[in-house]
Amino acid sequence: MCGIVGVHAPGQEAAGLAALGLFALQHRGQESAGVAVSDGDQVMVYKDLGMVSQVLDERRLPSLRGHMAIAHCRYSTTGSTLWENSQPAFRLGPRRAVAIGHNGNLVNTRELLALLPGGRRQLQGSTDTELLTALLASADGGDLLDVLLATLPKVRGAFALVVMDEHRLLGIRDPWGFRPLVLGRLPHGGPRDEGGWVLASETAGLDVLGAEYVRDVDPGEIVVLGEPGGPRSVRFAEGREHLCVFELIYFARPDSYMLGRNLYEVRRRMGEALARESPAEADLVMPVPDTGGPAAAGFAEASGIPYREGMTRNRYAGRTFIQPSQALRQRGVNVKLSPLPEQLRGRRVVVVDDSIVRGTTTRQIVALLRRAGAREIHLRISAPPIHHPCFYGIDTQVETELIAATHTVEEIRAFVGADSLAYLSIGGVLDAIGLPRERFCFACFDGLYPVPVPYDVTSHKFILEDLPLGDAPVATPP
């Protein structure tokens, strides 16, 4: 996933604004955080492993001076959780300095590596983002925009980017529009500041800055900030939106808007559709906190069954799914959730969640509720079963880790220990969103990948770590 922010604000310190915007996107990645700032002459970068508020605190930010900044919080989909892989990626090349914050995942990393003189040896870390940064910094030719126009048509996969050199800040979306990126306008804050412009993964990143939503960055578009006359739009490819439907189901904040839809309302309607498709006899409806909340509210309304909180969540614990390893994820459930036995004892409970990925977290939650006295547990999932891996920026790249790829619904029910289990259909998801299927990527549900995935990408997310140092041969299929 990852959260990205870009701020161009003449007369203001942009690093603090970018960090605040990033704080609103913390849910998109909790492994590392960082900011790159420019005063028009020089780019400085500060980043580290950890949460946004730990890394970009009041001791660091005052020393990061300049009116342009990009910021990034990471959830790894390529490369290990190492400092070297944190972002913004930065490269001081012979012709230009380039800093990049990237949300997404490239699918032709091996081919791109073959374009980099010196190959793998030139990279400190092992992310597709660092590779792209190195390619842009080392490219011959004109300014950063010229180099992007020459390079981006060779890049395949999912990429929402904020890119910066000393002089300009650019927001970019891949031609398939997998990952969101919005443009907003900062208000004038006083006589010395001239307002400014913000790019962010979600509208929640604009709201926290008091910025007004202007529009989405289009698939295949580069938005250039820092030029006289306001943002300039440049196309590097024809684009057609295939927004990741998981953004609407689960990942993005409920107060964010995507494609004109408020995500709380979309999720509430998914819960209503789920109640119509898969009703249950029960005494109460409860969410798996926090992300199951809107769908549980919709289920309760449509079914007439009372809504209750059956668990509380430790609000200082991270989101379970985006912890980087299975060991951490398993501990995370116990740290994160506590049952409320008074609400559960002797009751038949509908438990609404937004996804089952590996099944292990759900199994722990069901066991937790049973120990607290729930008599029956009817699990309802406000998304279809995840049958296929994602190669566009969600860390579900290993098919065998997806329980629905290898188990029937009945087998999953038995594994998690629920009395019944039902998923929302693809049609139910679309009804709740109210937009045509062609606007979205549904590949992890239906296997129809908008960008073909080369066979060697399907190995795993550590592709650059496994390649030998030096020039990378382009792989030939077996």
Interface positions with ligand SF4 (CB under 6 A) = 178, 244-246, 390, 392, 394, 441-444
- 116: its two tokens: 């980099």
Integer angstrom CA distances of residue 328 from 269, 318, 323, 366? 32, 10, 6, 19
Min CB(201)–ligand SF4 separation in Å: 14
C-alpha 426: how far from chain center: 21
Which one from 2, 244, 441, 444 is the annotated catalytic residue? Answer: 2
Instruction: Report the candidate in 261, 262, 318, 271 with the shortest Cα–Cα distance to residue 294.
Output: 271
Min CB(236)–ligand SF4 separation in Å: 21
* CA–CA distance, 7 with 194 (Å, rounded to integer): 13
Instruction: Report the candidate in 353, 462, 338, 465 with the shortest Cα–Cα distance to residue 418.
Output: 353
* CA–CA distance, 56 with 251 (Å, rounded to integer): 23
Q: Nearer Cβ to ligand SF4, position 224 or 322?
A: 322
Min CB(337)–ligand SF4 separation in Å: 24
Q: Nearer Cβ to ligand SF4, position 162 or 394?
A: 394
Q: Nearer Cβ to ligand SF4, position 160 or 245?
A: 245
Question: Under a CB-based contact definition with an 8 Å cutoff, are residues 244 and 392 in contact?
Answer: yes
Min CB(259)–ligand SF4 separation in Å: 14
Q: Is 11 left (phi over 0), alpha (psi -120 to 50) or beta?
A: left
Q: Nearer Cβ to ligand SF4, position 221 or 395?
A: 395
Min CB(303)–ligand SF4 separation in Å: 28
244 is catalytic: no
What is the β-pairing status of strands 43-49 and 160-164? unpaired
Q: Nearer Cβ to ligand SF4, position 116 or 402?
A: 402
Per DSSP, the residues of 188-246 read P-BTTB--EEEEESSHHHHHTTTPEEEEEPPTTEEEEESSTTS-EEEESS-----EEHH
Q: Which residues are catalytic?
A: 2
